[in-house]
Amino acid sequence: MISLVKPYIAPAEEMMPAIQNILYSGYIAESEPVWDFEKQFGLFIDNKNTIVVNSGTAALHISLSILDIGPGDEVISTPMTSEPTNTTIALTGAKVVWGDVDPNTGLLDPRSVEEKINENTKAIMLVHYAGMVCDMNEFNMISKKYGIPIIEDAAHALGSRYKGKIIASNSRFTCFSFQAIKQMTTVDGGAIGFKNEDDVAVAKKLRWFGLDKSVSRMNNDITRAGYKYGMNNVTATIGQIQLKHTPEVLNKYIENGKYYDDKLKSVAGIHLVPYYEDTQPSYWLYTMKVENREDFCKMMEEKGIAASPLHHRSDTHSVFEESRCDLPNMDEWYSRFVHIPCGWWVGNEEREYIIDTIRKGW
């Protein structure tokens, strides 16, 4: 079976000595290896205002916490995402308000978002789903017009670009995930890229109980309670090794994605996703719409190729019952979208087989 997702792990001869050295160094919690990885990742995404944390969920929660979002507040978000995007909002006590999606892309529709803004709206949560980038030209205008900050959930979008620049510093917060199956994994972990340097110091305290790590613990004074969201040295060491291979791995995703864009554009029953102006996807999942999706997925499985919608729409969960509303575009999109294998493990022979299989019909 050609897998839909698969973690890339650097060669053992690089990874294992580094892990062994850190495990027996006497320093396995947060210290220099974490801070070094933080700097290296910041250079990779071209944003010096970057911190690393223990998960993408922690990155989202810290961002919401900096904005002091809580009960009585509203955050406009998308149902087309993995669960943590919206359960993290629920953790704050704020209400999730669903924006509808663009039925052509599955990404949050700025027109729907603008219609739902009111005096309780404290943030807009965007998701660059599957590595496709939202219509940031429109969302930037909305954010400026209403003075509402944007949190970009870029868990799927490492290497995606807006106006030629890697996604990381356009909005006040850009949150990344290094969870197991992402383009770059540290087994688990995450990061936040900040637009405002002032937010970095606040975030560093929030990730470690409210303590200031630049000051002796004996001289610390917690003024606001924080969380245990720090990364450890073992995870950071894995990250440093993985990051050396990330450009090559990302290029393989992008190369395969562009190949599919070209070879599938005239296939009957396939509707390709258009990409917004000034955006470039990183193709974490190759996403398209198909006619008769159930038959398509069954045919692909029979031919040894994984194909699936993968994600369950968030607005159907009971925890969001008070937020439910009509989302006709989401209904249309959700009934037809599907993913096919696109990652580093898909070589030329595999991708040609996938294209040939689809062209034969279902």
Question: At residue 292, what is the residue type?
Answer: N
What's the CA dihedral at 15, 19, 20, 26 to 10 degrees? 160
Token couple for 235: 């995870």
Q: Annotated catalytic residue: which of 95, 122, 182, 252? A: 182
Residue 318 has which token pair?
């009971």
Say how many Å lie between the first and final Cα of the chain, rounded. Answer: 18
Closest CA to 51 of 67, 39, 66: 39
291's tokens? 């006619």
CA 83, 85, 91: angle at the middle one, nearest 5? Answer: 95
Q: What is d(CA 128, CA 281) in angstroms, rounded to the nearest whole number?
A: 9
236, 175, 202: which is closest to 45 by C-alpha? 175
Query: What are the residues facing 161 on neighbouring strands?
Result: 166, 280
Beta carbons within 8 Å of 147's beta carbon, 6+ residues apart: none
Q: What ranges make up the beta strands (E) of 196-327?
A: 270-272, 279-280, 286-290
161: helix, strand or coil: strand
Specify whether 182 is catalytic: yes
Distance CA 224, CA 66 (A): 11
Beta bridge partners, 338, equal 288
Beta strand segments in 180-225, E = 190-194
SS3 95: strand
Q: Tell me how far the alpha carbon of residue 3 is from its chain's centroid.
A: 20
The H or E element containing residue 63 is helix 56-66
Largest alpha-carbon pair distance within the chain?
70
Sheet holding 190-194, edge to edge: 50-53, 190-194, 173-177, 150-153, 121-127, 74-77, 95-98
Positions marked catalytic:
182
